[in-house]
Amino acid sequence: MNKVPVLSNFCRCLSRFFKKLLNLVTMRRLVTRIVNRVLLSEQFAPVMGTEAEIHSQARRKLVVGLGNPGMEATRHSVGMAVLGALAARLGVADRWRGDKHVSGEVIVSEVQHTHVVLLRPKLLMNINGVSVAKAAGKYGIKSEDILLVHDDLDKPLGKIAVKHGGSARGHNGVRSCVDCLQTDVMPRLRVGIGRPAGKTSVERHVLGRFTSEEQKILTSVLVQSVDLLLSQLSHQDSQSPTSPVGGRRAAQKRKERDCSAPPAQDSAAADG
């Protein structure tokens, strides 16, 4: 006879718990958005010297490796690893230099007559967008010409995909970029890192380093990711049509292209 009141109390407690959780998530996003706005309000010097030459060209692109500074070897910062591999392929790996005006490290290079700016934000993942927006403003690069490289929990290690705009899909770094640039048209190279196995939390998984078995697969992933990036950068026509600031293409179905890295000797193993 007491089952109904007990169940009712349980449901009320559960409801309160989820409301508090929702409020916490909402509050964290609000605080992050405020931080984005405050950091973006800082002024930076105009482009000078050789960097000014990039503004005289009709085509310029920005490639960003999203991640956490000082944690480049973790799964969450695999975008930075891909960018490092791209710089090495272009023969400019020794040209990284800090730029306080964009809160990051940059390299200005060229791929088939297209000026390319490589950017490694020096801000935490949740506010990477501040660095991206500042770099886009400094170098005069359109949002649709900004290529974000980031990790993807929903794809296993060894899988990569190009996505032409759309929602952040829960990725805090991409969400920060969308918020700061006020548009979601940026193409992305999504690099699979897989979900954790067993009782390992998502946070521990993404902030952890790749296992020795995963490193074997990662080597192939970096090679194929750079191949795909160079293919994207070589296209003279934008991959996605120009969109007004804040515009979303909900009515237009975006296409994704999935790629697989060459298989390693063993399958990828997540940390236990």
The two structure tokens encoding residue 242: 């120009």
Report the percentage of the chain scoring pLDDT > 90: 58
> Which residue numbers are catalytic?
76
Q: Which residue in the block uniquely carries the two structure tokens 């990662």? A: 218
Q: Which residue in the block uniquely carries the two structure tokens 């296993």? A: 156
Question: What does the pLDDT read at residue 99?
Answer: 95
Give the number of residues written for the chain: 272
Question: What does the pLDDT read at residue 9?
Answer: 62
State pLDDT tens for residues 84-101. Answer: 999 999 999 999 999 999
- Using pLDDT thresholds of 50, 70 and 90, give the confidence band for residue 19: low
- The C-alpha torsion from 32 through 34 and 37 to 39, rounded to 10°, is -70
In this model, does residue 66 exceed pLDDT 50?
Answer: yes
| H/E stretch holding 27 | helix 3-40
Cα separations (Å) of 77 from 4, 23, 128, 198?
A: 49, 28, 12, 22
| H/E stretch holding 106 | strand 104-111
Q: Which residue in the block uniquely carries the two structure tokens 């750079």? A: 226
The two structure tokens encoding residue 48: 């000078």
Mean pLDDT calculated for residue range 129-150: 96
Pairing mode, strands 114-121 and 60-65? parallel
Mean pLDDT calculated for residue range 245-264: 51
- Centre a 10 Å sphere on the Cβ of residue 6 and count the other Cβ atoms it contains: 9
Mean pLDDT calculated for residue range 122-151: 96
Among the listed residues 45, 69, 36, 3, the one whose alpha carbon sits nearest the alpha carbon of residue 177 = 36
Cα separations (Å) of 238 from 146, 184, 234?
A: 10, 15, 10
Report the alpha-carbon distance of residue 29 to residue 35 in Å, rounded. Answer: 10
DSSP secondary-structure letter at 74? B
State pLDDT tens for residues 201-213. Answer: 999 999 999 999 9
Question: What does the pLDDT read at residue 45?
Answer: 42
Q: Which amino acid, one-letter code, is at 235? A: H
In this model, does residue 3 exceed pLDDT 90?
Answer: no
In this model, does residue 72 exceed pLDDT 60?
Answer: yes
Mean pLDDT calculated for residue range 101-129: 94
Q: Which amino acid, one-letter code, is at 136? A: A
Among the listed residues 169, 177, 164, the one whose alpha carbon sits nearest the alpha carbon of residue 151 = 169
The two structure tokens encoding residue 78: 């695999």
Question: What does the pLDDT read at residue 205?
Answer: 94
State pLDDT tens for residues 161-174. Answer: 999 999 898 899 99
Question: What does the pLDDT read at residue 166?
Answer: 92
Q: Which one is predicted more confidently, 53 or 150? A: 150
* CA 36, chain centre distance (Å): 16
Among the ranges 51-55, 167-171, 261-265, which has the highest mean pLDDT value? Answer: 167-171
Whether the Cβ atoms of residue 199 and residue 58 lie closer than 8 Å to each other: no
- Give pTM, 2 decimals: 0.74
Question: What does the pLDDT read at residue 159?
Answer: 96
State pLDDT tens for residues 223-232. Answer: 999 999 999 9
Report the alpha-carbon distance of residue 57 to residue 120 in Å, rounded. Answer: 23
Report the alpha-carbon distance of residue 6 to residue 2 in Å, rounded. Answer: 6
Among the listed residues 231, 240, 230, 192, the one whose alpha carbon sits nearest the alpha carbon of residue 85 = 230
Beta bridge partners of 147: 63
